[in-house]
Every structure is written in C-alpha cells, then in structure tokens.
Amino acid sequence: MLDGCTPWPPEFAERYRAQGYWRGESLVDLLESSAARHGGKTALVQGGRRVTYGELVRRSRRMAAGFRERGIAPGERVVVQLPNVPEFVVVCFALFRIGARPVFALPAHRASEIRHLCELSEAVAYVFPDVHRGFDHPALARQLSDELGTLRTLFTLGETTESDAFVPLSAVEAAADPGHASAFPAPDPTDVAFFLLSGGTTALPKIIPRTHDDYVYMARAAVTAAGLTENDTYLAVLPVEFNFTWGCPGVIGTLLAGGTVVLSEDPTPERCFPAIERERATFTAVGPSIVHLWLEAAEWLEADLSSLRTLQIGGSPLSREVAARIEPTLGCRVQQVFGMAEGLITFTRGDDAVETVLTTQGRPISPADEIRIVDEKDQELPADAIGELLTRGPYTPRGYYRALEHNARAFTEDGFYRSGDLARLTPDGNLVIEGRIKDMINRGGDKVSAGEVEGHLLTHPAIARAAVVPVPDEYLGERICAFIVPVGEPPSLTEVKAALTDRGLAAYKLPDRLEIVTELPLTGLGKPDKKILAAIVRGEPVPAAVNFIPSAAGRPNPARPAG
C-alpha cells in the first residue's frame, strides 16, 4: 500500500476476502464488466450529451494513454476539481487505469484548499474547469504551478489550444485507443484508487485513501441495500466528488448496476425537475436543505416526477416533519442515509416500518460493519443510550493519509474510527444521529472545520483571538458564527469575509455572523468555551464574563438578561 496510508491488519484483510467482501476487483474491472454487459446503453448524460458504456470505456482508455504520454506515472497524485460533467468520470477511470490517484477537490474550493491538497498529496497535476461560476480556475492553476515545485502539468476542461501552460483534456483524450484494457497494467485491488476529502475537524483538511477493494465493495453493498438495478436512472445532484454522490450507490453504484447516471450541475428544482422528467430519473440523493427547496417548488413548478422512486437524504439531520412531507408531495420513497467519506454508510430500507424511515438513519449497508456507541471512557453503552459513534469495517479505512499524529487520536487502538458524531442505536439496530462532539459546522451538508476558519481569522491584523461555532438555521441546519477579540478597531463582517476570500478560502466557509467580544470565555483547560458561545448564539442567557463590543456595522448586542 502507498506510503503514508494505514493498511487494514492482515487478519482483517484475510477475513474480508474470505467472507467475499473484497473480491480482488478494481474500479476498472467494474466498468469493463458493466460495459461488456451493457456496451450500447447510455452510461452518462449531461444536458444534451450522452455517453454509452462502450464510449466511456474507450474514452477513458484514450485519456489514460494521453495522460501516460504526458508523463503521469503510476502512483502519482492528481488533484481533480471538476463540476458534474462526464469528463470527471472519464478522467477518474483514465487515472485508475494507469495507477495514478485522483485527489477529489470540490468545485467550490479556492486557492487555500487546492494549494493544501496539492501540497499534502504532492500532486504532479491539477485538472480544473475553465472560468466556472465566475471563478477563474486557469488563473488559480497558473498561480499554484508558479508556487509549487511539484505541480508539473495543468489539465483544463476549457477549450484552449495546447500551450506550455495548459493541456486541454480534449487533447489528452485525442490519444490513440490502445484497443484493449490490458494495454495498461491491471490496478492492484488492494491499492489506493483515489483520495476523498474529509469533512474535517482539523485546521488543515485531511484526505482519505480509498482502495479499489474497499470502494467496489461499498458500492456493491449500497446497490444491494438501495435495490438499484440496471433499470435505474440516477440523477447526480450534489457534487460528484462527495462520497454520497460518487459511491453510495451514486455514480459508481449505478455504473456497477448497469444503470444510467444523469449529471446535474445544479441542485435547484428549476434544473433538476425537468431533468427528472426528461430522463425519467428513478433515484437521486440530496441533503435536507435541498429537500426544502424541492418541497416548496413542487407547489408551483409543473413537472412530471412520477418516475422518481427513491429520494435519498443524507449529510445532515432531517426532521421528522420534513421527512413526512416527501412522499405525499414528491410521490417517492424516502431513504435516509448517514454516511461519511471515512467509511460507514447506513440506509433505511424499502421494507422498513414508516416510523423507522422517518426517524432513523437506518442500518449499516454491510453485515461486516461494526458499530460501537461509547461514553467518554470508551465504554460501550446499551441500546438507546447516546454516545460517540465508533466504527470499523471493510470500507472504513484505518487512517488518514500522511497523518500519523492525528490518526492516533482519530482511531482507537483496535482500529475503530472515532466519528465525533453523537448517536444511539435503537433496540432493533437502527442508528439515530443525535448531535456531535467534533468541532465542525454542518452548513447545509457542507462540512466546515471550525479550526480551519479560526486559523484564517487569526491571520487578520485586527483579530487577536477567534472561536467559530454553529448557529442553528431553518434552511441550512447551521450557519457559521465567528466570535472575535479585536485588536483596536473591530473589523466588520464584510471586511472579515473579504479578507478570508482574499486568502483563497472557499465561500461556504466564510462566517455568516460576527460577534465581537472583549474576551472569549475559557474552559478549565484554557481553551475557548464553545459550549457557552454556541448557547449564546442560540439565544440563551449571556454569562457575565462575556462582554460584547458593538461592531462597526452597529449590530445590537445579544440581550443580556436582567440580573
């Protein structure tokens, strides 16, 4: 296994093989075998573009040859940042074929995140779109290649002619098709296929190495648990780089089942409803904040959604009330999903009782998934007691990439991943997520590490101390509130956002609210007491020790109760 990764202990690997979870099949094998069965069938759709299974195989072979001609070698890392377009899938399979490893970046990422991913993975190449949603990706690529000695090649989805600076993906794909899969050495199924980004609680986001064996198994288990077949059409609404969209069952599961993937670049009902109607989509996956929009739109937006069989909802908490409105309003079944790029996936099932579907996140997709709910001392708790969710299993890797120190904290000695989520198991074995202990904000499904934002805030000359906490929000679930202790004249929220944007931070990580205080309340260990801060933004009484300074924008201070 790749240096910097933690392999499963041999006895676990043997067991997962003996029990038939790991079948020694790579993601390339998965695509080739689906193409052998469904060659002429449409694999991918985006707008008016359609790619058959046969074409996907040929295009990914040509692109693999093109990457090789341009010097991408087995084992090297390539940061891939593309919107939901067929080229994302072609690029990934091309890199899998030559044994190079995509590192998934989100379309919303900016200089700060992309630089970090390139540095952490020592990427030799970066794949990016042209100007996308107003952001100049080529300019960022040029900047990063000037800064980073390791970044050799810049591949763009844009239609530039090949220059010293950029290689268009269309030129890479123009390479001759070697005509057969064996033109490339078969990937080792135990090897890392690609890296997923962690939702993260650390100042510098971590990446998660996923092997062919573990990911193919996860996709297969998700296909079974979701009841996906070759007759299904999956609408990819969230970014394809999310684990949820990529493999739960998502794009990879649909390709495994021999179905069709429709790629939508935008989750709005105005874009998705017509796509569901046009393509007769049967299956899709969204977060609760998008469900709100879809439920509202169903009242006024004329569209035939009758093909839609299942709506998977995951990524953040879904209220019972919203869950209960879905079937009557959209005419499809709800499947609650709990999942994480680190591994464990749970689904409610088609034959579950209604109440289970409305109020739980279901059961693990694999019988080999191990779950423990523990107290602060790692003691296992009985059913229905709330504690931290720990997990281990055949698709839950044993460590982040190049993160020895962090791994020692994030995993137990016996290899369970500490999710940082608070959960309970019902007596019949369904998981219910009850909250979390990790220092993260879940902003409409986008995960924001408080520590990362704090690190950026502290580089501002007018900020001496900073603590970032979630604020409850009706639509997004949570928004981001930054408490700061200023140096001199306090900055306004607009100034702070502009400063973080200038530092290249993605827009979804910018504070939505700024509170300026003379001191941060501290815990016994001398760290900012985020429990107090989170309670203040929820509207609870402000302790005497916390004094607000009116911001330049003149926002009134939160009310301090009399006495």
Q: What is d(CA 326, CA 298) in angstroms, rounded to the nearest whole number?
A: 10
| C-beta of 292 vs 447, nearer to ligand AMP | 447
The SS3 call for residue 104 is strand
When asked if residue 436 is in the footprint of ligand AMP (CB under 6 A), the reply is: yes
Residue ranges of alpha helices (H) inside 227-342 are 243-247, 250-257, 269-279, 288-297, 320-330
Q: Which stretch binds ligand AMP (CB under 6 A): 103-111, 121-129, 314-322, 484-492?
A: 314-322
Residue ranges of alpha helices (H) inside 298-437 are 320-330, 354-359, 404-410
When asked if residue 243 is in the footprint of ligand AMP (CB under 6 A), the reply is: yes
| C-beta of 57 vs 410, nearer to ligand AMP | 410
DSSP label at residue 176: P
Residue 123 near residue 117, CB atoms below 8 Å: yes
Q: Which stretch binds ligand AMP (CB under 6 A): 145-153, 335-343, 403-411, 513-521?
A: 335-343
Q: How far is the CB of 342 from ligand AMP (least distance, A)?
A: 6
The SS3 call for residue 348 is coil
DSSP E strand stretches across 148-206 = 153-156, 167-168, 192-197
- Of the candidates 60, 59, 99, the one whose C-alpha atom is nearest the C-alpha of residue 78 is 99
Q: Which stretch binds ligand AMP (CB under 6 A): 146-154, 323-331, 332-340, 396-404?
A: 332-340
When asked if residue 419 is in the footprint of ligand AMP (CB under 6 A), the reply is: yes
| C-beta of 475 vs 545, nearer to ligand AMP | 475
Q: What is d(CA 456, CA 505) in angstroms, rounded to the nearest whole number?
A: 8
When asked if residue 55 is in the footprint of ligand AMP (CB under 6 A), the reply is: no
Q: Which residues lie across from 345 on neighbouring strands?
A: 339
Site residue total, ligand AMP (CB under 6 A): 18
| C-beta of 201 vs 260, nearer to ligand AMP | 201
When asked if residue 107 is in the footprint of ligand AMP (CB under 6 A), the reply is: no
The string of DSSP codes covering 480-548 is: EEEEEEESSSPPPHHHHHHHHHHTT--GGGS-SEEEEBSS--B-TTSSB-HHHHHHHHTTPPPPTT--B
Which residues, numbered 339-368, are part of the site for ligand AMP (CB under 6 A)? 339-341, 361
The SS3 call for residue 341 is coil
Q: How far is the CB of 347 from ligand AMP (least distance, A)?
A: 10
Residue 255 near residue 261, CB atoms below 8 Å: yes
| C-beta of 105 vs 484, nearer to ligand AMP | 105
Residue of 199, 247, 250, 397 interacting with ligand AMP (CB under 6 A)? 199
Q: How far is the CB of 395 from ligand AMP (least distance, A)?
A: 13
When asked if residue 205 is in the footprint of ligand AMP (CB under 6 A), the reply is: no
The SS3 call for residue 283 is strand
Q: What is d(CA 104, CA 207) in angstroms, rounded to the nearest whole number?
A: 9
Q: How far is the CB of 410 from ligand AMP (least distance, A)?
A: 12
| C-beta of 52 vs 412, nearer to ligand AMP | 412
Q: Which residues bind ligand AMP (CB under 6 A)?
A: 199, 243, 314-317, 337-341, 361, 419, 421, 433, 436, 442, 447
